[in-house]
Amino acid sequence: MSSTTYSAASAFKGPAIAGLGAALLFGIGAALIAFMGDPEGRPPVLRQALVPAPQPAAQEIATAELRRPVEFTQTDAEIEPSLSGVPETFEAPGSEHSSDPAQAEAEHAGQTHPDALVAAPIAGLTTPGPSGPLPAIGPDGTRPDQAYARPWHGDPNAPMIAIVIGGMGLNRAVTESAIDELPPEVALSFAPYSRDLQSWVDRARAAGHEVLIEVPMEPFDYPNNDPGPHTLLADAPPTENARRLYWLMSQATGYFAMTNYLGARFSTAEPALEHVMAALEERGVSFLHDGTGRRSTIEAAGDGAQARWGIADRVLDEDPSPSAVDDRLLTLEALALQNGASIGAGFAYRSTVDQIARWAEGLEARGYALAPPSAVMARQQAERGGPAQTASAATPH
Residues 104 and 40 reside in one and the same domain:
no
The CB-side HSE value for 363 (13 A sphere, CA atoms) comes to 30
Query: Considering the chain, what is the average pLDDT of its residues?
Result: 79
pLDDT tens by residue, 93-118: 333 334 455 554 444 444 578 899 99
- Over range 318-327, report the average pLDDT: 97
| Residue 335 three-state SS | helix
Domain assignment present for 23: yes
Domain-located, residue 300: yes
Residue predicted with more confidence, 241 or 16: 241
pTM value is 0.73
Pairwise CA distance, residues 125 & 147, whole Å: 9
Partners of 257 in the β-ladder: 212, 286
- 297 and 358 assigned to the same domain: yes
Considering the domain architecture, whether residues 216 and 311 belong to the same structural domain is answered as yes
Q: What is the pLDDT of residues 148-175, one digit of tens each?
A: 999 998 888 899 999 999 999 999 999 9
Instruction: Please give the Cα distance from 250 to 246 (Å, whole number).
Output: 6
What is the tens place of the pLDDT at every residue in 181-190?
999 999 999 9
* Helix (H) or strand (E) run with residue 396 in it: none
Is 90 a domain residue? no
- The verdict on residue 309 lying in a domain is yes
Rg (CA), the chain: 29
Higher pLDDT, 82 or 24: 24
- CA pair distance 322, 263, nearest whole angstrom: 26
On whether residue 86 sits in a domain, the answer given is no
How much is the pLDDT for 387?
A: 65
Quick one: pLDDT band at residue 388, thresholds 50, 70, 90? low
What's the domain count of the chain? 2
What pLDDT is attached to residue 292?
87
- Give yes or no: residues 151 and 33 share one domain: no
**How high is the pLDDT of residue 73?**
35
Q: Please state, in angstroms and rounded to a whole number, the distance separating the CA atoms of residues 288 and 257.
A: 7
371 membership: H or E segment, kind and range? none
User: Of 73-77, 142-146, 230-234, which range is least confident?
Assistant: 73-77
**Residue 389 pLDDT:** 52
Percent of the chain with pLDDT over 90: 63
Judge whether residue 321 has pLDDT over 90: yes
Determine the Cα–Cα distance for residues 197 and 82; give it in Å rounded to an integer: 15
- pLDDT at position 391 is 42
Q: In terms of domains, do 16 and 164 share one?
A: no
pLDDT band for 84, please (50, 70, 90 cuts): very low
Higher-confidence residue of 331 and 29: namely 331
Provide the residue type at 119 as one letter: A
Q: Are 225 and 248 in contact (CB under 8 A)?
A: no
Q: Is residue 6 part of a domain?
A: no
> Parallel, antiparallel, or unpaired for β 160-168 and 341-347?
parallel
Report, as an integer, the average pLDDT of 14-34: 48
| CATH classification at residue 208 | 3.20.20.370
209 Cβ contact list (under 8 Å, min separation 6):
117, 150, 179, 182, 184, 186, 187, 188
361 in a domain, yes or no? yes
Cα torsion 298, 302, 303, 309: sign: negative
Residue 42 above 50 pLDDT?
no
Residues 38, 104 within the same domain: no
Complete DSSP assignment for 286-305: EEEE-S-S-HHHHHHHHHHT
Residue 285: how many CA atoms within 13 Å on its side-chain side? 30
**Domain co-membership, 33 together with 167:** no
For residue 94, tell me if it sits in a domain.
no
Q: Are 189 and 165 in contact (CB under 8 A)?
A: yes
DSSP codes joined into one string, 44-94:
PSSHHHHSPPPPPPHHHHHHHHHHSPEE--S-GGG---EETTS-TT---TT
Q: What are the φ and ψ backbone dihedral angles of 225, each rounded to 5 degrees?
A: -110, 95
Pairwise CA distance, residues 23 & 216, whole Å: 59
Statement to judge: residues 254 and 126 lie in one domain: yes
What is the DSSP annotation of 196-240? THHHHHHHHHHTT--EEEEEEE--TTTTTS---TT-B-TTS-HHH
Judge whether residue 392 has pLDDT over 50.
no
- 35 shares its domain with 182: no
Total Cβ atoms within 10 A of residue 3: 7
Cα–Cα distance measured from residue 109 to residue 119, given in angstroms and rounded to the nearest whole number: 14
What is the domain range of residue 330?
A: 99-108+121-394
What would the pLDDT profile of 193-235 be if each residue is shown by its tens digit? 999 999 999 999 999 999 999 999 999 999 999 999 999 999 9
- Residues 388, 301: one domain? yes
29 and 104, same structural domain? no
Does residue 175 share a domain with residue 31?
no
Per the CB < 8 A criterion, the answer to whether 359 and 327 are in contact is no
